[in-house]
Amino acid sequence: MAGETLFFKGTKSRVIFLAFCLVGTCLLAEAEVHNLTWEVSYQYKSLDCYKKLAIAINGETPGPTINATEGDTIIVNVKNNLLMENLAIHWHGIRQFGTPWSDGTDGVSQCGTMPGDTFVYQFVVDKAGTYMYHSHYGMQRESGLYGLIEVSVPSGTKEPFTYDGEHGVVLSDWYHSSSYEQATGLTSIPYVWIGEPQSLLINGRGKYDCANLSASVCNAANPECAPSSFTVVPGETYRFRIASLTSLSALSFQIEGHNMTVVEADGNYVEPFATENLYIYAGETYSVLVTANQSSSRNYWITTNVVSRNASTPIGQAILNYNPNQNLIPPNTTPPPGPLWNDVDARKNQSLAIEARQGYIQIPPHPDKVIVLLNTQNKVDGYTKWAINNVSHTLPETPYLIALEKNWLDVFDQTPAPESYDYENYDIYSVQNNSNATTSSSIYRLEFNSTVDVILQNANTMTANNSETHPWHLHGHDFWVLGFGDGKYDMKNNDANYKFKNPIMKNTVPLHPYGWTALRFQANNPGIWLFHCHIEAHFLLGMLVLFESGSSMVSVPPQVNMGCGKTKSLMQP
Ligand code: C2O
Ligand code: CU
């Protein structure tokens, strides 16, 4: 039973319910309730051999993997033991139908949980696949507060591929400065950029060069930074469930001497394709199948490297272990360095190669509304910001979901957020002065159940000849990826490039430099949902929008953290 391998304190109870009925035959399925208790606290960790504070769940970072079966209910009692810092945890990729209060987004679905308090998240994992969870409070995620959610198909159901075993892989980037230091620099005049990460971690393990540092600060022999290893039996096929939880870096992932077959992306089945390396952006998950078909006389390197930015961060390394019965022996070969950071075409080609498995969900043929979102770096009152259609978003003190439910229209900007930009005249290849940029807490209000197309349009940053990769993530929904293109999206002709045949559904998609990405979704989940760049610094600086739909159907939450903004007025004296 999948649930028996859970790595957390907690209890499970079983509920029998009717799963589904097909032509008069009803199948009985068992759905479990997983009741977890998590204590979140700071701990000294040496994840890349360099000792620094990290945020751990029950002492671990990455936190415990949640293993469940489609249809199960997850209850997580999150106790904030951070002492001096609020907390919110988001279940990334879980759509939260009927449970918008459990989305875990500070400023949107809840007030941050205060030190000493416990917040109870409760939701159903309604679709098999690979997901993740992470902090959604300021830049807190990058302190190590994240982990995997693995949802298996109900028993009796077959997946469209087979494998003998599986491994979970959490990829992250790691800084030695604290998130406070970074957030302060980013929001100051002069602006201080965070720079590139010191290390890349695979399942929370990396290797920083400790030369010239005292062993009390950086100790290469610390077992906490020994490389992660993944055991295989020769001839068998493994499913690697890979999630990128980087705060900044776009990555490539590869296994020395082994091809990978991509079969799942963001909880949706992919028409299988083979590749030597997988490009993966912050907020994405993939499953790849790997067959242990190489000589077992040695082990093989697994590596990950930064792409899209000219970073000096060393590659992250782990070991594919063919010899579990002896002490782990690192291969004596050179670890694969991965593709060149600036090979943009290879990355775009992989984006274009991802198609839905045939026979997947029918896409609505036409949008009811098209929203174009220009992505720019801006200055507002001398501060560096990221803006969408020249509006840099600021989250209000009072969470939107509570404000909408209470009809408190004074707590956020009621001007509708802009649905387009001056695309006739805007030159995406040059540095603009964008002198009309502003900050606002305005939102997009979408008709419930309507079909919405979103065109993400990239542009030059405030540095000449520079445009960045932005991984955009939508809460509460999956979307169809309609297409990618170079240059400026042409409102009249570009939908010829849409691939209506088998568009994949995802929850996170890259916007490539100087390009556009088009997606379609149905606003069928009552509530208010973030859509944002998954880079921590960009999110902090306003690269986000909000989609409200059907929020009038959302009723009083069973339990909400009060104590921020206008919610204080609801507290008992
Ligand atoms: Cu994975 Cu809004 O985030
Ligand atoms: Cu971004």
pLDDT in tens, 277-320: 999 999 999 999 999 999 999 999 999 999 999 999 999 999 99
| Ligand 2 centroid, distance to 294 Cα (angstroms) | 39
| Ligand 1 centroid, distance to 532 Cα (angstroms) | 8
Among the ranges given (16-20, 221-225, 301-305, 367-371), the one the predictor scored with the smallest mean pLDDT: 16-20
* Sign of the torsion formed by the C-alpha atoms of 325, 327, 328 and 331: negative
Same domain, 151 and 172: no
List all residues whose CB is within 6 A of at least one atom of ligand 1. 90, 92, 134, 136, 283, 473, 475, 530, 532, 534
Same domain, 383 and 336: no
| Ligand 1 centroid, distance to 81 Cα (angstroms) | 22
| Ligand 2 centroid, distance to 484 Cα (angstroms) | 17
Measured from the CA of 283, which atom of ligand 1 is nearest? Answer: 1
CATH number at residue 86: 2.60.40.420
Same domain, 210 and 327: yes
| Ligand 2 centroid, distance to 539 Cα (angstroms) | 7
Residue 15: alpha-carbon gap to chain centroid: 31
| Ligand 1 centroid, distance to 544 Cα (angstroms) | 11
Decide if pLDDT at 159 tops 90.
yes
Same domain, 182 and 204: yes
pLDDT tens profile 78-110: 999 999 999 999 999 999 999 999 999 999 999
Sheet with 383-388: list strands edge to edge. 438-440, 391-393, 383-388, 369-380, 451-457, 515-522, 479-486, 505-506
Assign 29 a pLDDT band (cuts: 50, 70, 90). Answer: low
pLDDT at 30: 76
Is position 187 within any domain?
A: yes
pLDDT at 556: 64
Decide if pLDDT at 14 tops 50.
no
What mean pLDDT do residues 381-405 have?
96
| Element spanning 26, H or E | strand 25-45
Is position 358 within any domain?
A: no
Is position 5 within any domain?
A: no
Measured from the CA of 539, which atom of ligand 1 is nearest? Answer: 2
Nearest to 511 by CA among 190, 283, 259: 283
Decide if pLDDT at 497 tops 70.
no
Same domain, 135 and 264: no
Measured from the CA of 508, which atom of ligand 1 is nearest? Answer: 1
Assign 436 a pLDDT band (cuts: 50, 70, 90). Answer: confident
Nearest CA to ligand 1 atom 3: 92
pLDDT at 238: 98
Same domain, 152 and 179: no
Residues of the chain above pLDDT 90, percent = 86
Average pLDDT, the chain: 92
Measured from the CA of 132, which atom of ligand 1 is nearest? Answer: 1
| Ligand 1 centroid, distance to 485 Cα (angstroms) | 24
Decide if pLDDT at 23 tops 60.
no
Decide if pLDDT at 227 tops 90.
yes
Same domain, 349 and 479: no
Sheet with 260-265: list strands edge to edge. 199-202, 165-174, 237-244, 285-291, 260-265, 268-275
Residue ending a domain, choose from 288, 319, 353: 353
Expressed as residue numbers, the domain containing 461 is 369-559
DSSP annotation of 363 reads: P
Residue ending a domain, choose from 353, 388, 412: 353
* SS3 of the chain: helix, strand, coil, percent, to 5: 10, 40, 50
Nearest CA to ligand 1 atom 1: 92
| Ligand 2 centroid, distance to 117 Cα (angstroms) | 32
Query: Count of domains in the chain?
Result: 3
Is position 161 within any domain?
A: no
Higher pLDDT, 361 or 133: 133
Paired strand residues for 459: none
What is the C-alpha to C-alpha distance for residues 531 and 534, in angstroms, rounded to an integer?
9
Closest ligand to the CA of 91: 1
Same domain, 192 and 271: yes
Is position 3 within any domain?
A: no
Assign 433 a pLDDT band (cuts: 50, 70, 90). Answer: confident
pLDDT tens profile 338-364: 999 999 999 999 999 999 997 667 889
Closest ligand to the CA of 538: 2
Within 10 angstroms of residue 401's Cβ, the number of other Cβ atoms is: 24
| Ligand 1 centroid, distance to 448 Cα (angstroms) | 22
Closest ligand to the CA of 94: 1
DSSP annotation of 218 reads: B
Is position 570 within any domain?
A: no
Is position 493 within any domain?
A: yes
What mean pLDDT do residues 503-527 have?
97
> Cβ distance 305 to 315 under 8 Å?
yes
Same domain, 343 and 379: no
Measured from the CA of 93, which atom of ligand 1 is nearest? Answer: 1
Assign 493 a pLDDT band (cuts: 50, 70, 90). Answer: confident
Same domain, 265 and 383: no
Measured from the CA of 530, which atom of ligand 1 is nearest? Answer: 2
Q: What is the amino acid identity at position 527?
A: G
Closest ligand to the CA of 388: 2
Closest ligand to the CA of 536: 2
Assign 181 a pLDDT band (cuts: 50, 70, 90). Answer: very high
Rg (CA), the chain: 23
Is position 4 within any domain?
A: no
Closest ligand to the CA of 308: 2
Same domain, 374 and 415: yes
| Ligand 2 centroid, distance to 549 Cα (angstroms) | 25
Measured from the CA of 141, which atom of ligand 1 is nearest? Answer: 1
> Cβ distance 132 to 147 under 8 Å?
yes
Same domain, 441 and 298: no
Measured from the CA of 475, which atom of ligand 1 is nearest? Answer: 2
pLDDT at 333: 97
